[in-house]
Amino acid sequence: MKAMTRINNKGDDAYLDRLLSYFQSKFQEKIKQFVPIRKKVYYVKTKKNSYIIKGYRSNKRLKLQETFTTTLKNEGFSKTYLFVQPVKETLFFEGIHYGVIEYIEPHKTAFSYHSKENIVKGLKLLEEFHKVTATFETRYRTLISKGDQIGKWQERSAIFVNNLPVLEYFLNPSYLTEMLEWAKWSLDGITENSAFFEKEPFVILHGDVAHHNFLRDASGDLHLIDFDLIQIGPKVLDYLQYANRILPYLDWSLERFSEFEPMKKFLKEKAFIYALAYPSDIFREWNRIIRENSQTRPSKTKYVMELTVNQFHLRRKFFNQLKKMV
**Across-strand partners of 215?**
223
CATH number of 116-325: 3.90.1200.10
Q: What is the mean pLDDT of the chain?
A: 95
Residue 164: which pLDDT band, with cuts at 50, 70 and 90?
very high
Share of the chain above pLDDT 70, in %: 97
Condensed to tens digits (0 to 9), the pLDDT of residues 286-318 reads: 999 999 999 999 999 999 999 999 999 999 999
Left (φ > 0), alpha (ψ -120 to 50) or beta: where does 11 sit? left
Q: Above 90 in pLDDT, residue 166?
A: yes
Q: In whole angstroms, give the CA distance from residue 116 to residue 97.
A: 39
Mean pLDDT of 23-38: 96
Q: Residue 12 — very low, low, confident or very high, per pLDDT cuts 50/70/90?
A: confident
Domains of the chain, residue spans: 8-102, 116-325
Between CA 226 and CA 234, with CA 230 as vertex, the angle to 5 degrees is 130
Going by C-alpha positions, the residue among 208, 68, 69, 211 that lies closest to residue 152 is 208
- Cβ neighbours of residue 114 under 8 Å, at least 6 residues apart? 249
- The model's confidence at residue 116, banded by pLDDT at 50, 70 and 90, is very high
Does 157 score more than 50 pLDDT? yes
Write out 193-236 in H/E/C secondary structure.
CCHHHHHCCEEEECCCCCHHHEEEECCCCEEECCCCCCEEEECH
Phi/psi of residue 15, each to 5°?
A: -65, -45
CATH class of 8-102: alpha beta
Q: Which of 56, 29, 59, 58 is nearest to 44 (CA)?
A: 29
Nearest to 303 by CA among 276, 318, 319, 284: 284
